[in-house]
Structure 1
Amino acid sequence: MIALSANIKKYRLEKEMTQTQLASVFNVSEQAVSRWENGNTYPDIQLLPAIADYFGITIDELMGMENYKDERETDKIMEEVRENDRKGLVSKNIKILQEAVVKYPKNYVLLNYLIHELNFEYSDDEEKLRKNHEKAIEIADRILNECTDQVIRNAANFEKINSLELLGRTEEAIALAEKLPIISMSYEFKLKDLYTGERLKLHCKEALMTYAQNMSGIIERMSDLGFQDESLSIEDRISICKKAIEILNVVYEGEYGNGAWILANKHRYIAAMTVLIGKTEETLYHLEEAAKYAVMHDTLPEKQTLHSTLLSGYEVRKDTLFKNHAFTECGELFDRLKQERYDIVRDTERFKAVLDKITPYVEGV
């Protein structure tokens, strides 16, 4: 009966009673109470109102129905939130989650997701974003002080680091980040030694995608796209960015599924640099590649099976993609192509072909 057995024991212990004492209250044997709590038998249905009244709770609470109803409602909330994330409706999610955590203040999953959305929101209003990140830190500290679930605590700590970074409190972020586990202590790394058979294959494929994307991100970071490292030339940055693509190609072999947006961005970054040094042919090539992957992303099927050597048979799903904006990848590329830097190739047939390729997937054009 849902959670009746566990609840009888829970409320008995809260009253600091023995099974013998509870048995005496309801004129049953100690063995009967023991069987109730072990789930071997249940109290007579006519006895339930008296047990609930004795503990000062409702029958629904005694049966665990309240928790069951709460779980169903929070599951519906999370389902709505995830659907909004796929549409880029982060601001809407923040309102939903803020209301939800008032009703469920101890639901640390909802609280953690609220932190994520506060950090994830995209806005031109810097003051709004600052308040978001400060609120995220406040909630993260609350989770870290109250919650005992280590997985949830790890997620809260990670989001706190993100919040500190976004607020420009870099040294505080570094101090926390330096305490995070090293890669060889991560579950992705260790489970490869523990799993076997199909479980191992699936885990390795997922770990490879995670590591390839993160390694590509690290290499991209080394390319200093913000142009802060004066020791790097544009040619150096381009060469490094190309290595990031090579890493991804080792794993994906050109078939990127729901990671196609990553390639679209990397080729766009390279095109934005090659055009600065007059390499028009190379610029056009990377714009064509950016368009190819932008369209690939914007036309993803609901499900897709990958066929690369390392990921063969792995199924990717469109509904696992989240974003913090409403525009498409083609829309992002379309807007970037308006920049003056591309004037030297704007009148070429290849540039016009890029625009023709992405325009059908650009909203409002």
Structure 2
Amino acid sequence: MRIMLGDKIKELRKRDHRTQDDLASALGITNQAVSRWEMNKAYPDVEIIPAIANYFHVSIDELFGYSNDRERTLSSYVEKANALLKPGITPDKRMLKESILFLREALSEFPNEWNLQERLATFLWIKNSNDRKESNDAALKEVVELFEMAYKNSDDFERKDSILASLIMVLGELGDYQKIEEIANQSSAIFNCREIVRTKMAEKGKNDRYVSEAFLALLHQMAEVININFDHFSVINNPAIYIALVEVYNSVFGDDDFGWFNSDMCLLYLNAARICSRNIDEAHTIEYFDKAYCFCKNFMEAARDKIEKPSARCLNKATNLPSRFVYVSEKTLKEYMGLFSEKIVSQLRCNPKYAALF
């Protein structure tokens, strides 16, 4: 038992990134005492055991290694948390309230579980976005803190990337550009990013995979950059940049199903239509909107299932695919229609194909 407790104290201390001095100070003892515990040369007094458990936010049973029931409980919480958000489904107020309550209670029991932290941050972010009249910086700051903790505690490097991306977006909403700059300064340049570095591997059987993954990641990010930063790219008042990227997608995907990448195509066409509408180019506005409508429908169908790798020959070796897509829907189409002239909207209204949008 002594060996188990000493090892467990050390494990929990390192998990929480605490020093022996930190633990000693919190318990009112010397760091030499903590050191002796962890070397299994001494044993904490019985009276101090509850304080140690409380410091690490664990039960006394877990401190002593009796954690099977607790781990099963945690697994059930994580499974439920991961099932709360389904692709393409926006939770209503009741679901938001119930989910936030559940996640807060789960985190009170497992305060360092990153899956729960990430899910709670996401639900609070959605709630804040929905409550525009009540939106406040304090709520977003809690979201930032939760994402930061989830990023720190996660041991899944792919999920860490997703968590960091979400964190950056929330910081943008807060206008905390200094922290975004700090994150950028700590990040790798694009030519040293994971996807690009892997393309340097000539190992048989892996090069095709890594090249495919790098190309898809870069293509997806290029679409995100020009779609999100419409005001920057629209100054030339020409939809060519959006249509040019559409052609790149078409050239590599061919006639194959775009899967979740239908989202990128939908937004590229919508932004091209938006520019054409500003230029009073009615014919191209309607043409591009119709393309966007079709890709939107295809995405909604594809998003019912997990993302699948493209079947195109130059891409079908990819295994790790982009995980962050805009969930375009009829709501997205309606929002863009609101940017068109009334004349164009009237023409769209007359087409029974778009009846569901009116």
Q: Which residue of 2 aligns with 1:105?
A: 111
In the alignment, the residues of structure 1 paired with residue 269 and residue 290 of structure 2 have an alpha-carbon distance, to the nearest angstrom, of: 9
- The reply to whether residue 346 of structure 1 matches residue 349 of structure 2 is no
TM-score, normalised to structure 2, is 0.67
Taking a change above 3 Å as real, the CA distance of residues 247 and 314 of structure 1, as seen in their structure-2 partners, is same
**1:16 matched to 2:37:** yes
Mapped partners of 2:147, 2:309: distance in 1: 37
For 1:74, which of 77, 93, 99 is the aligned residue? 77
Partner of 1:291: 293
| 1:34 counterpart residue number | none
What is the CA–CA distance in structure 2 between the aligned matches of 1:181 and 1:343, rounded to whole Å? 48
Cα distance, 1:160–1:294 mapped onto 2, change above 3 Å: closer
Matched with 1:333 is 333
Match of 2:244 in 1: 243
Q: Distance in 1 between matches of 2:73 and 2:60?
A: 16
Matched to 1:218, the amino acid is V
Partner of 2:14: none
Query: 3-state DSSP class of the match of 1:224?
Result: helix
Question: What whole-Å deviation, never above 9, does each CA across 1:7-54 have from its counterpart, x for those lacking one?
Answer: 4772598873878999xxxxxxxxxxxxxxxxxxxxxxxxxxxxxxxx
For residue 277 of structure 2, the aligned residue among 227, 251, 275 is 275
8 Å contact 1:334–1:358 — kept in the other structure? no
1:88 aligned partner: 90
The aligned runs of 1:116-265 (5 Å cut-off) are 116-119=122-125, 122-128=129-135, 130-140=137-147, 147=153, 151=157, 158-194=165-201, 196-198=203-205, 200-220=207-227, 223-224=230-231, 232-235=235-238, 238-253=239-254, 255-265=257-267
Question: What CA distance in whole angstroms lies between the structure 2 residues aligned with 1:186 and 1:126?
Answer: 40
**Could you tell me how far apart the structure 1 residues matched to 2:244 and 2:314 are?**
19
Cα separation, 2, equivalents of 1:337 and 1:103? 47
8 Å contact from structure 2 (residues 3, 40) kept in 1 = no
Measured on the aligned residues, the alpha-carbon RMSD in Å equals 4.3
Matched residues in 2 for 1:162 and 1:61: separation? 41
Residue 23 of structure 2 is matched in structure 1 by: none
User: Which whole-Å deviations, capped at 9, do the CAs of 1:243-263 have from their partners, x for residues lacking one?
Assistant: 332343344336320121221
Q: Which residue of 2 aligns with 1:357?
A: 353
> In structure 1, what is the equivalent of residue 19 of structure 2?
none
Cα separation, partners in 2 of 1:76 and 1:114, compared to 1, 3 Å: same
Aligned match for 2:312, one of 308, 313, 320: 308
Tell me, in whole angstroms, the C-alpha distance in 2 between the residues paired with 1:331 and 1:126. Answer: 20
Aligned to 1:27: none
Cα distance in 1 between the residues matched to 2:145 and 2:41:
46
Q: Give yes or no for contact 2:2–2:40 (8 Å, CA) kept in 1.
A: no
Give CA deviations for 1:173-202 in whole Å, capped at 9, x if unaligned: 223323222223322223334584555544
Q: Is the 8 A contact 1:251 1:310 kept in 2?
A: yes
Give the partner amino acid of 2:264: I
CA shift, 1:216, in A, is 2.0
State the percentage of identical aligned residues: 13
Q: Equivalent of 1:62, from 60, 65, 71?
A: 65
| Post-superposition CA distance 1:153-185 (Å, at most 9, x none) | 776655443322111232342233232222233
Question: Within 2, Cα distance between the matches of 1:209 and 1:6?
Answer: 50
The answer on whether the counterparts of 2:172 and 2:180 sit within 8 Å (CA) in structure 1 is yes
Structure 2: distance between partners of 1:172 and 1:112: 19
Whole-Å Cα distance in 2 between the matches of residues 142 and 321 of structure 1? 20
Q: How many residues align?
A: 309
Q: 1:80 to 1:140 in 2, by over 3 A?
A: closer
Contact 1:112 1:156 in 2 (8 A): yes
Deviation at 1:126, TM superposition (A): 5.0
C-alpha change, 1:290 and 1:202, in structure 2 (3 Å) is same
Q: 1:51 is matched with which residue?
A: none
**Rounded Cα–Cα distance in structure 1 between residues aligned with 2:155 and 2:213:** 24
The 8 Å contact of residues 81 and 115 in structure 2, kept in 1 or not, is answered as no
Stretches of structure 1 lacking an aligned partner (at least 5 in a row): 23-55
